[in-house]
Amino acid sequence: MKMKCSLGIDVGSVSTKLVLINEENDVIEKLYLNTAGKPIDVIVKGLKILNDEFNSSIEILAVGTTGSGRQLASVLVGADIVKNEITTHAVASLEEYPDTQTILEIGGQDSKIILIRNKIVADFAMNTVCAAGTGSFLDRQAQRLGIPIEEFGKMALTSTVPTRIAGRCAVFAESDMIHKQQMGYKIEDVIYGLCQALVRNYLSNVAKGKEIRPPVLFQGGVATNLGIKKAFEEELGMSITVPQHYNVMGAIGAAILARRYIMQSKSKKTNFYGFNVALKDYKVKSFECKGCANCCEIIQIYRDDKIMARWGDKCGKWSSSIAV
């Protein structure tokens, strides 16, 4: 008998995550791919990988999409639910750690804090105008210093006298780091100093005024960075947990929610188009609507030359003209 699985897809700014979970919510397979500015190609690639590996042995019960590219992913695969990343992160965390009270999440360009009280989300905040301290910035610094990003956190742990880095702004943090390097500070001290600065920045800008109660989970791509984790623990004065699947929590949450949705009634069937969609030809075309002074840029998604979806308009003239 085929194993019944749910598929969760999280299309983020930097990485795209695909997750298969079984009926006990155990992760069967997870893929972590670079979005590289081509979300469609990446989703298709992810589906191909899953198809090659599992096609004959599993049955897809439900599909959920999340992340900033959730609409796009939904159109491509035929999702049952499309959910924002805050809810999906919370759902996945609560599934694994039901007592969680606080979730710290730092991704490629977003960072957020989610407060959970009595097992439901009570409050959240996201970074607003500034992306200092998110994954992209850390990537860039690692690149600049010629250190593989995987080693970045470990190196920070060897620091004995962390340097004080101004972390309020990514641009100034970088110039401050360069300055400190030129003054002769040890590289690991500069790196851990940066970790501390980013944590300070996160706590004062994103988590501003919110009560952080243990147990605290730390997830998102940056959670792999041991330096940041240590800096958080020092600053908060409590131990924090990084879940096993820290970098695909959003996708897990989407898969869980999709299955819950399908299970609500027996008559509900998944919208999933099947893995074969990966073999089809996708195209995106855009044009500027001349209907009014807003000049919205309309995006059209084609599958084998058939329009699947349109969006980008403010008035709804184009997006509502076809059923998605």
Partner 1 sequence: MGGKVILFVICIVFNNMEIVGNKTVMRCINKIMKIGIPRALFYYYYFPLWEKFFKELEQEVILSNPTNKVTIKMGVEAAVDDACLPVKVFHGHVMDLAEKVDAIFIPRIVSIEPGRYICPKFLGLPEMIKFNLNDLPPIIDIKLDLYNKKASILEHFFKIGKFLNKSRAEVLKAYFVAIKNFAFYKNYIRLYRKIPTEVFNNEILNYDDNNFKTITNQSKPCFKVLLLGHPYNLYDDYISMNLIKKLKLYNVKIITYEMLSEKKIFQGAKKLSKEMFWTLGRNILGSAFYFLDNEKVDGIISVASFGCGPDSLVGELLERRVEKEYKLPFLYLNLDEHSGEAGFNTRLEAFFDILEGRLTSESNFSSLR
CB-nearer residue toward partner 1: 129 or 183: 129
CB-nearer residue toward partner 1: 177 or 249: 249
CB-nearer residue toward partner 1: 122 or 145: 122
Stretch that binds partner 1, among 39-47, 265-273, 291-299, 302-310 (CB under 8 A): 291-299
Q: How near is the Cβ of 271 to partner 1 at its closest, in Å?
A: 19
CB-nearer residue toward partner 1: 184 or 316: 316
Cβ atoms of 100 and 124 closer than 8 Å: no
Among 37, 56, 99, 129, binds partner 1 (CB under 8 A): 129
Q: How near is the Cβ of 226 to partner 1 at its closest, in Å?
A: 29
Q: How near is the Cβ of 116 to partner 1 at its closest, in Å?
A: 10
Binding string to partner 1 for residues 60 to 89, with x set by CB under 8 A, is what? --------x--------------xxxxx--
Stretch that binds partner 1, among 95-103, 147-155, 237-245, 288-296 (CB under 8 A): 288-296
Q: Per rule CB under 8 A, is residue 293 in the interface with partner 1?
A: yes
Q: Per rule CB under 8 A, is residue 284 in the interface with partner 1?
A: no
Q: Per rule CB under 8 A, is residue 323 in the interface with partner 1?
A: no
Q: How near is the Cβ of 11 to partner 1 at its closest, in Å?
A: 11
The amino acid at residue 64 is: G
Vertex 17: Cα angle to 136 and 195 (nearest 5)? 30
The Cα-based distances of 214 to 40, 123, 227 in angstroms read 39, 15, 20
Q: Per rule CB under 8 A, is residue 122 in the interface with partner 1?
A: yes
Q: How near is the Cβ of 79 to partner 1 at its closest, in Å?
A: 15
Ranges within 176-235 binding partner 1 (CB under 8 A): 209
Among 37, 99, 118, 237, binds partner 1 (CB under 8 A): 118
The amino acid at residue 171 is: V
Cis peptide before 243 (omega within 30 of 0): no
3-state SS record for the chain: CCEEEEEEEEECCCEEEEEEECCCCCEEEEEEEECCCCHHHHHHHHHHHHHHHHCCCEEEEEEEEECCCHHHHHHHHCCCEECCHHHHHHHHHHHHCCCCCEEEEECCCCEEEEEEECCEEEEEEECCCCCCCCHHHHHHHHHHHCCCHHHHHHHHHCCCCCCCCCCCCHHHHHHHHHHHHHCCCCHHHHHHHHHHHHHHHHHHHCCCCCCCCCCEEEECHHHHCHHHHHHHHHHHCCCEECCCCHHHHHHHHHHHHHHHHHHCCCCCCCCCCCHHHHHCCEEEEEEECCCCCCCCEEEEEEECCEEEEEECCCCCCCCCCCCC
CB-nearer residue toward partner 1: 110 or 188: 110
CB-nearer residue toward partner 1: 292 or 324: 292
Q: How near is the Cβ of 82 to partner 1 at its closest, in Å?
A: 9
Q: Per rule CB under 8 A, is residue 37 in the interface with partner 1?
A: no
Residues of the shown chain interacting with partner 1 in the complex, contacts defined by CB under 8 A? 68, 83-87, 110, 117-126, 128-129, 209, 292-296, 314
